[in-house]
Amino acid sequence: MIDEKMMSKKKPTYPVSKALEAYLERYSRKIEIPICYDDLLRFIGSVVVYDSNDEDTLWVRVYYNEYDRQEIDTSLKRVYSLLLSDGSGHIDQYLNVDSVDYCTFGNSKPFRIKVRNVLNDNFTYFYVKKADASRIYGLELEHMLSPYNLNFMVYKDTLIEEHIAGIPGDVFIKEMLPNCTEFEKAQLAKEFVKFNERCMIRLLGDMRSYNYVIVATHDFDHVVYRIRAIDFDQQSFEGKLNVYRPQFFKENYKMVELVRSKLLKDSIDQYKLEERSIVAKRILSSGNRIKLLDKVCKKDHISLPENVEKLKGQIYDLTKDIQFKKCKTMGEILNLALDFVKRNYQGVSMKQILEHKIKI
């Protein structure tokens, strides 16, 4: 398990470069919005938000003076429309901003906005955060390389993210995992192996249990579980390879034990192969989009020089690919890691694994 001291105490926020901004505009991620992150910091007070067990959620509900509140509500409704609808104001009359919550924990200190439809009381959330280049790369990579599409937009120094629904991993492990059937536990073990592999391939770090959610879907006569990342702050920043492997965090210990008790080594190898192969296919199907993102990322600075040196050495030790030793930026390491997967696992069969022609 990873000791928390192996993680940087606070990751710096990296600005959005001109090249990244141009990429975002090309793919309709850059959209002008009427409010920025700093506007929401003008709150005049707050109250602690507790969960159903009266425990502190580390969120506070903020409130504003009457003049600011009217302006902020109108702007947040427009942001909702831009993110989830056609951007026009005709739906504003049906919307109400029920709450603005501020998170006091972690690097990004986001605002969580709850918007409710007054006609039927359906509601949804979205998040307002400081734009951070490494987080944006993480969101784009998740959109292209995971089974899920992500909806977000960026304007100047503000990032708007759609809410990702699911059961927080730490809550699921504590309250729901003990009640799962043996079949469901085996399925969760499989999903954790694949999730672990996907994070390592694309260098998404800090996937402790509270940074991902469990998504449950009913399928015929059973429930299918999937694991989905919700925090992309640690995309390609840390210098230790194990930070990009969820299995090494103590918060995931019970999931690791589940893998040990439910899966044979051959099965684990099979699921690793499946994930690497599907990621290789997604890289190919992403075409010019991922090529352009890689080109931008290779020239960007989203980590510290000592982290780059440490990580490229550890990945070389794992892959024996001499090209990693030539990398100067995290973007170059990421590009080579994705290219390595594409070259080595596109069209690989289980027979090649069993015959030891391909190393897992």
Mean pLDDT, residues 268-293 taken together: 94
Are 150 and 193 members of one domain? no
* Predicted confidence (pLDDT) at residue 354 exceeds the cutoff of 70: no
Give a yes or no: residue 316 inside a domain. Answer: yes
Residue 2 pLDDT grade (very low, low, confident, very high; cuts 50, 70, 90) = low
Would you state the pLDDT for residue 6? Answer: 62
Q: Are 10 and 51 in contact (CB under 8 A)?
A: no
Whether 204 and 289 map to the same domain: the answer is yes
Secondary structure class of 167 (helix, strand, coil) = strand
The tokens of 325 are what?
Answer: 């030793």
Q: Is residue 140 over pLDDT 60?
A: yes
Work out the mean pLDDT of the chain and round it to a whole number: 92
Nearest one of 128, 259, 240, 123 to 195, comparing CA atoms? 259
DSSP-assigned states of every residue in 315-335: HHHHH--GGGGG--SHHHHHH
CA contacts within 13 A on the Cβ side of 78: 13
Query: Which residues in 260-272 are b (16+ Cβ under 10 Å) and which e?
Result: eebbeeeebbbbb
Do 255 and 142 share a domain, yes or no? no
Residues 96 and 190 in one domain: no
What is the DSSP secondary-structure string of 43-95? Answer: --EEEEEE-TTS-EEEEEEEE--HHHHHHHHHHHHHHHHHHHS-S-STTGGGE
Q: 46 pLDDT band (50/70/90 cuts)?
A: very high
Q: Are residues 58 and 126 in the same domain?
A: yes
Query: Residue 114 is which amino acid?
Result: K
Residues 190 and 320 in one domain: yes
Place of tokens 């499989």: 190
Report if residue 5 sits inside a domain: no
Residue 3 lies in a domain: no
| % of the chain exceeding 90 in pLDDT | 84
The answer to whether residue 10 is domain-embedded is no
Which strand ranges, in their side-by-side order, compose the sheet holding 222-229? 167-168, 212-219, 222-229
Tally of domains within the chain: 2
- 345, 265 Cβ separation under 8 angstroms: no
Q: Which of 147, 162, 177 is the last residue of a domain?
A: 162
24 close to 154: Cβ distance less than 8 angstroms: yes
Domain-located, residue 360: no
Which among 8-12, 41-45, 83-87 has the top mean pLDDT?
Answer: 41-45
Render pLDDT for 103-138 as a digit per residue (tens, 0 to 9). 987 778 999 999 999 999 999 999 999 999 999 999
Torsions phi, psi for 149 (to 5 deg):
-95, 145
pLDDT of 350: 44
**Whether residue 225 is found in the same domain as residue 85:** no
Both 110 and 193 in one domain: the answer is no
160's torsion region: left (phi>0), alpha (psi -120 to 50) or beta? beta
109 and 38 housed in the same domain: yes
- Looking at the domain assignment, is residue 12 inside a domain? no
Going by C-alpha positions, the residue among 301, 297, 283 that lies closest to residue 340 is: 283
Same domain, 116 and 232: no
The DSSP letter of residue 179 is G
Q: Are residues 282 and 216 in the same domain?
A: yes
User: Is 305 among the domain residues?
Assistant: yes
Same domain, 134 and 195: no
Q: Which tokens is 333 given? A: 């390491």
**Dihedrals phi, psi of 324, to nearest 5 degrees:** -65, -30
Residue 8 confidence (pLDDT) = 66
Expressed in angstroms, the distance from the first to the final Cα of the chain is 21
In DSSP notation, 91-131 reads TGGGEEEEEEEEE-SSSS--EEEEEEETTT--EEEEEEEE-
In a domain, 7, yes or no: no
334 vs 294: CA distance, rounded Å = 8
Cα dihedral sign, 131-209-245-313: positive
Choosing from 128, 162, 196, the residue where a domain stops is: 162
User: Closest by alpha carbon to 107, among 9, 179, 5, 186?
Assistant: 9
| CA 159 – CA 128 distance, rounded (Å) | 6
Q: Give residue-wise pLDDT tens across range 204-259.
A: 999 999 999 999 999 888 899 999 999 999 999 999 999 999 999 999 999 999 99
Domain-terminating residue out of 105, 133, 162: 162
Q: What is the pLDDT of residues 75-111, one digit of tens each?
A: 999 999 999 998 888 899 999 999 999 998 777 899 9
Which range marks the domain in which residue 22 is found?
Answer: 18-162
